[in-house]
Copies of this chain bind each other. A is one copy, B any other.
Amino acid sequence: MAEVVVALDGMGGDHAPASPVAGALEAAREGIGILLVGDEPALRAELARQGAEGAGIEVVHAPDVIGSEEEGARAVRAKPDASVSMACRLVGQGRAGAAVSAGNTGATLAAATLHMRRIPGVIRPAIAVTLPAAGGRPVVMLDAGASAEARPEHYPQLALMGRLFARDVLGIAGPRVGLLSIGEEAVKGSEEVLAAHALLRDTPGFAGNVEGRDILARAVDVVVTDGFTGNVVLKTMEGTAGFLLGEVRAAVRSTLPGRVGGMLVRPAMRRMRERIDPDSYGGAVLLGVRGLAVIGHGNSTGRGIANAVRLAARGTRERLVAQFAEALAIEGAETSPAA
């Protein structure tokens, strides 16, 4: 099979199996090996419908599916043969380097944690999200919600994982790391963040505190925060973007010159929205497990899925897991390995 193999949940997301199959075909054409996991008859029918025999795509049957409304962790326990669990299990077995699902986020997290196991030395896995930012370069933020809180000793590992991900997967040379806080001064923030700052101070690439308004301004390449704050920030960005673009649309439609002008600016606006579309970045990534789990947006298109698969393939090719393990072994003396 191909040099790099990605296990793809064929049943995950609002447009499954059409989008996963389209994404699989797009990625397979670039030489990425795909294990397409899910209901075999449905997947084969969709492959045929999209007019491809699927060179480089191997269908792996999984009889169950976890819906987007199910409670993730519970569903993973209840349905051991769900497509997302099977995809993660293939990574655990070494048959694939990474898993991708656009289905239930909680289920993907639970399945990846269960089947991929942590990299030795990693205190706990974290979700990294890649945000479109000023100047066209991405910013990585983690933890975006794998855990609901963090202790100070978790931050140096978040910084390390974020830095390696930015460098090896996103191709950012010498990534700079910022600690999310409520003021740039080292003395600003909660007790947890003050203690985290002290632990981060001498780590590679650390550039000090950043504030909420600095994230998309790309003051740094990697933003570290606890999973509660990271998740709130991510959803606040989504909400603010949705609100503002709605306001822009309403404002433009409110007058006749506005409507005419709106028609003229529409193509430019569409390109802008594509550029900041989460689909472009392939989704959130669970870091710290043996393999990579990429969590695509529920409404991913085929292109979104293909980008998620590319991201997963890049992480596999760049030996991200081995890099983490090596870096942790070296820095092991400084970071506490205790859970």
Contact = CB atoms under 8 A, between A and B. Distances in A.
A259 to B, nearest CB: 9
Interface residues of A, number: 65
B191 A149 contact: yes
Nearest to A265: B261
Contact of A239 (B213, B227, B257): B213
Nearest to A254: B268
Interface string A261-272: 111111111011
A101 interface: no
Interface stretch (A50-58, A214-222, A307-315): A214-222
Contact of A258 (B226, B247, B268): B268
Contact of A268 (B148, B181, B239, B252): B252
A243 B265 contact: no
A212 B235 contact: yes
Q: Main secondary structure on chain A at its contact with chain B?
A: helix
Interface in A237-286: 237-248, 250-252, 254-255, 257-258, 260-269, 271-272, 275-276
A232 B265 contact: no
A149 to B, nearest CB: 4
This chain's copy number in the assembly: 2
A149 B195 CA distance: 14
Most buried by B among A214, A216, A239, A266: A239
A69 B190 CA distance: 22
Contacts of A252: 265, 268-269
A234 B212 contact: yes
B244 A231 contact: no
A189 B232 CA distance: 10
A329 interface: no
A242 B262 contact: no
A255 B267 contact: yes
A245 B269 CA distance: 11
Given A133-B243, A217-B239, A268-B252, A232 B212 contact: yes
B264 A258 contact: yes
A11 to B, nearest CB: 23
A13 interface: no
A203 interface: no
Residue of A215, A240, A263, A269 most packed against chain B (CB within 10 A): A240
A91 to B, nearest CB: 26
Interface in A19-53: none
A325 interface: no
Nearest to A188: B148
26 contacts: A134-B243, A134-B246, A145-B182, A148-B188, A148-B191, A180-B232, A182-B232, A182-B235, A189-B228, A193-B228, A212-B233, A213-B235, A214-B235, A215-B239, A217-B239, A240-B240, A244-B244, A250-B272, A251-B268, A252-B265, A254-B271, A255-B268, A258-B265, A261-B263, A262-B265, A264-B264
Interface of A: 133-134, 145, 148-149, 180-182, 188-193, 211-217, 225-229, 231-248, 250-252, 254-255, 257-258, 260-269, 271-272, 275-276
